[in-house]
Amino acid sequence: MIKSDATLDALGLLCPLPVLKARKRLKSLAQGDILEVLADDPAALIDMPHFCAESGHEFLGQSAGDGHQIYLIRKGGLR
């Protein structure tokens, strides 16, 4: 189990808001910190890994929560 440094609740938000809010939240974290994102938008399954690849962050994976998905992102470089 990976311990996160911060959690973003994006439940009830539709594309592109979960990714936009994750981007904003990651800015306040230190490089290497892990952000846990809670989202129930089906598009986030595609959007989160793509966002990480394009932004230089490491997508650590996703798991199922109670009616939502949990995404783990390690903050990467200064892109």
Q: Is 52 a catalytic residue?
A: no
Rounded to whole angstroms, how far apart are CA atoms 74 and 54? 14
Q: Would you state the structure tokens that stand for residue 2, as one six-digit string? A: 């990976």
Of 13, 15, 17, 60, which residue is the catalytic one? 15
Pick the closest to residue 17 from 43, 55, 36, 50 (CA basis): 43
The catalytic residues are 15
